[in-house]
Chains A and B, each alone.
Chain A
Amino acid sequence: MKKKLIAVLLVASMAASLVACGNKNSGSASNGSADSAPAEATAVNTDTTTLRINLASEPDYLDPALNSSVDGACLAVNSFVGLYTYDENNDCVPAIADGEPEVSEDGLTYTIKLKETKWSNGDALTANDFVYSWNRAVDEKTAADYAYMFAPIATNSDGTLKIEATDDYTLKVELNAPCAYFYDLLAFPTFMPVFQADVEKADPDGTQPGAWAQEPGFVSNGAFTLKEWKHNESMVYEKNPNYYRADEVKLEKLEFMLSADDTAIYAAYNSGDIDFADTVPNDEIQSLLNSPEFHVIDTLGTYYVGFNVNSDLFKGLTADQACKMRKALSLLIDRQYIVDTVGQTGQVPADTFIPDGMADGNGGIFEADDFGYYDATTTGAGNVEEAKGLLEECGYSFESDGNGGYKISPALEVTYMTNSGTGHEAIAQCIQQDWGIVGIDVKIETEDWNVFLEDRKAGKFDIAREGWIADFNDPINMLEMWLSTGGNNDMQLGKDTSNSSAPSWKEYDEHIQKIYATTDFAERVKLMREAEDMLMETSAVVPIYFYNDIYLQKTNVDGIYTSKNQNKYFMFAEKTAE
């Protein structure tokens, strides 16, 4: 165990000293075999009043309106609370809202009664606080990344939202169209209230909107308030006695270790200095799989490979041929192998773009168990003949190379772009091997995270690794991103209408508008299914696996739960001495 730990710490230290970005749980390149013996229990600390946690390094913003990171959202849900929240069963339930809202017959007006709750300083939290906070979030001067989440709410001519505090504890909200996921939005951090006096005092001229929450002591309304912040070291939150469910909060303090260094985090966890670690060294996963401290939970997200439909790779092909070429490449990827050897934590090979378990906005689950665009567990070498056939339709021919593989003619060289990170590079190498069977030469190009994001957005690539964790539990979040005007449409669908090898995308854009406008939620499910069909038909988006979320938690800790968009709720956790 000790030798292994030394090795892990050294390797992790080396890796951590190179600044790596991207999704922390995307997998690893470990070749370690599964260890069937349960892992040794690690040391625990017996301070039952304080939960010590590592989520990530220093958050950029604690202002819930300005936050756009998952770890920042975790801090937000533990120190602020909105009208709705998620419970331990992952149900979206009223929080500050006093029971279910009254909804008009046309589904456009919500009258939300508020519980009589208080800010951490004892002031009353009223409907006007929500009016202020939401309008502040959509104000261009605030420059909130997630301002677009308010799009379902109707706006006035001056750009403010059509929301009104009809009395201190009643909020009236008007929507543009019925919104199937409105309650999920109400649980989203951007919709949480902020204390107007704090905000305005810290930023009198409106140039630094997040200034009020940059140091401890600011007013909030959640379970904990920030008392101490040593930048890049630690944050200490204390229980807020004015929290509306304070009597259910057993912990007195939350302490956050602000680190993204695998070595430090894993060592701190093993020594009992922290109780919860959201980062697990990739090379340790195999040995932890049987540990009661290792947790794997489903999450709403898809790891996928994206093709730039405007790439020169498809030059001279018709749109139909280009789709066939991409489909052939998709069929050749051995997803099960990637999941088993790189992912390692039981990810499900993806046969759709919308992840398993996502709600359909009509009381059901969007992807039925038996639904899939292909059998994701058998893609790979078994599909070589079908893939060859599709590529032949694109003008390629094959001859045996004498080693069980093929030579392709004319030669086909493609560039696969990824960011640094062992998991991403390992997946690239798997794909390189899979496509190599039919003679395709894959060049892997690894870029710095910041440059990678820029190049992907600008369409400066042929093929790139991609991933998307849903912001809220509705398929529209993963379908509207492909609008031809969408900022996340890295695959460039519909961005160059003059390109004859790219799929025509006007119909898709119109389809999404229909989804926005429909008042019939059953019809909406059907329209979303058709939209996903259209997307998958292009094969520009090649799902690999559905994300899951892993973390380490001591056995003397209970009651922590996670929403499907990876927000972690610590407020009802309990610690025992053993």
Chain B
Amino acid sequence: MAKYIAKRILLAIVSIWIITMITFFAMNAIPGGPFNKEKATDPKVIQELEARYNLDKPLGTQYVLYMNNLLHGDWGVSLKTGRPIWQDMTAKFSVSAKLGGRAAIIAIIIGIILGAIAALTRNKLPDRLIIFFTTLGTAMPSFVLATLLLLVFCLKLGWFQVYSASDPNYTLPVIALAVYPMAYITRLTKTSMLDALNQDYVRTARAKGVSKIKVIFLHALRNALIPVITYVGPMVAYILTGSMVVENIFTIGGLGSTFVTSITNRDYTTIMAVTIFLAILMVVANLLTDIVYKFVDPRIKLD
């Protein structure tokens, strides 16, 4: 196991390094620049800014300098605002993670429960209701759902404020973020649960007189969770990093909108930092997923 993890970490470092290279050269290849403004900036000012951020150097040198700084823990400052990126990014990630973490927990727990219920009540009313709502949940874009939640719960019912500086509303954005993964997990759990329930080992266990509850939770569900885990790993990494649409609609200062805005603004240092951060999260999530496989299904060999 340790050997496997070490190998994966090594591969992850190589992957992240390749990602930094691709991102760095791709973002510099696209037209536009960080200092473009509607009212022209004095060329002397541009010159000063380019020198300040090493943008006056050849692209290869810029990359080497960036990586050197990064390896020394210096993520740089935003070209747009001059704010230190690490400080900014971690503050925003903590907001996104707070929302995303809650949404992920809700999605996983409710998704698995609903999926199991749907499988056990196949073709009956609960199953049909669950499938109807999960189909709706997977089909509805997040901006529609977020807008509807805003309209119903903030404007019509008045249960939440649309905006508050002192008491921000996190309930609705968590719901908006959780619905899609929850619906997807429900469908995934149902499918794999049905598959598991038809396996010989389940029939054998039942024939041996093992209780239905034990069969479902100790045998069927455990095995049914493997495809769910495959989805949940990257999903958690994705959801933790925030959603531009949901953050914008509920005025939440998370990482999702920062990432998109940084691309629009050609804020190179922020683009790099957020991409690397997301890549690390994704790699860690995948690694953890593989390790969890091992615990769920001891037959899996990681070496």
Contact = CB atoms under 8 A, between A and B. Distances in A.
A560 interface: no
B190 interface: no
Contacts of B252: 232-233
A61 B40 contact: no
A359 B150 CA distance: 46
B191 to A, nearest CB: 31
B209 to A, nearest CB: 56
Interface string A180-221: 000000000000000000000000000111110010000000
A13 B249 contact: yes
Contacts of A258: 251, 253
A141 to B, nearest CB: 7
Interface in B7-54: 31-33, 36-45, 48-49, 52
A488 B39 contact: yes
B147 A10 contact: yes
Contacts of A454: 31-33, 36
B227 interface: no
A450 B165 contact: no
B165 A233 contact: yes
A268 B144 contact: no
A314 B32 CA distance: 27
A14 B37 CA distance: 25
A194 B4 CA distance: 57
Contacts of B258: 232
B247 to A, nearest CB: 8
Contacts of A467: 38
A453 B37 contact: yes
Contacts of A412: none
B41 to A, nearest CB: 5
B121 interface: no
A263 interface: yes
Interface in A56-72: 58, 60-61, 66, 68
B48 A141 contact: yes
Interface stretch (B62-70, B81-89, B216-224): B81-89
Interface residues of A, number: 65
A487 B43 contact: yes
Interface in A131-182: 140-141, 143-145, 147-148
A16 interface: yes
A235 B253 CA distance: 12
Interface in B137-155: 143-144, 146-147, 150-151, 154-155
Contacts of B250: 264
Interface stretch (A81-89, A244-252, A270-278, A332-340): A270-278
B91 A231 contact: yes
A291 to B, nearest CB: 17
A257 B165 contact: yes
A487 B249 CA distance: 37
Nearest to B254: A232
Given A143-B48, A267-B155, A454-B31, A148 B42 contact: yes
A23 to B, nearest CB: 8
B187 interface: no
Given A13-B147, A19-B261, A449-B264, A68 B37 contact: yes
A259 B165 contact: no
Interface stretch (B156-164, B269-277, B286-294): B156-164
A228 interface: yes
A145 B252 CA distance: 29
B151 A450 contact: no
Contacts of B251: 232-234, 257-259, 261, 264, 268
A442 interface: no
A6 interface: yes
B192 to A, nearest CB: 33
A207 B151 contact: no
Given A13-B147, A271-B162, A457 B253 contact: no
Given A208-B77, A210-B82, A231-B92, A145 B37 contact: yes
B230 interface: no
B244 interface: yes
A260 B244 CA distance: 12
B145 to A, nearest CB: 10
Interface in B65-120: 77, 80-83, 88, 91-92
Given A143-B49, A143-B52, A450-B265, A267 B32 contact: no
Question: Which among A68, A148, A261 has the highest number of chain B CB atoms within 10 Å?
Answer: A261
Interface string A10-23: 10011011010100
A284 to B, nearest CB: 14
B257 interface: yes
Given A17-B143, A214-B82, A270 B88 contact: no
Given A61-B81, A258-B251, A273 B40 contact: no
A481 to B, nearest CB: 8
Given A264-B251, A448-B32, A450-B266, A271 B161 contact: yes
A14 B83 contact: no
Contacts of B163: 52, 234, 257, 259, 264, 268, 273-274
Question: Which among B33, B38, B40, B77 has the highest number of chain A CB atoms within 10 Å?
Answer: B38
B300 interface: no
Contact of B44 (A14, A140, A208, A271): A140
Contacts of B244: 17
Question: Which among B144, B251, B264 has the highest number of chain A CB atoms within 10 Å?
Answer: B251
A13 B150 CA distance: 11
A9 interface: yes
20 contacts: A2-B156, A6-B151, A10-B147, A16-B248, A16-B249, A52-B163, A140-B48, A143-B45, A214-B81, A230-B253, A232-B247, A263-B150, A264-B163, A271-B154, A273-B163, A448-B264, A450-B32, A454-B31, A455-B31, A487-B43
Given A145-B37, A234-B163, 17 more contacts: A2-B156, A52-B165, A68-B39, A148-B42, A207-B52, A231-B92, A231-B253, A259-B163, A264-B250, A267-B151, A270-B155, A271-B161, A274-B163, A450-B31, A453-B37, A454-B33, A454-B36
The 5 closest A-B pairs by CB, nearest first: A487-B40, A232-B253, A450-B32, A234-B165, A268-B162
Interface of A: 2, 5-6, 9-10, 13-14, 16-17, 19, 21, 52, 58, 60-61, 66, 68, 140-141, 143-145, 147-148, 207-211, 214, 228, 230-236, 255, 257-261, 263-264, 267-268, 270-271, 273-274, 448-451, 453-455, 457, 467, 471, 486-488
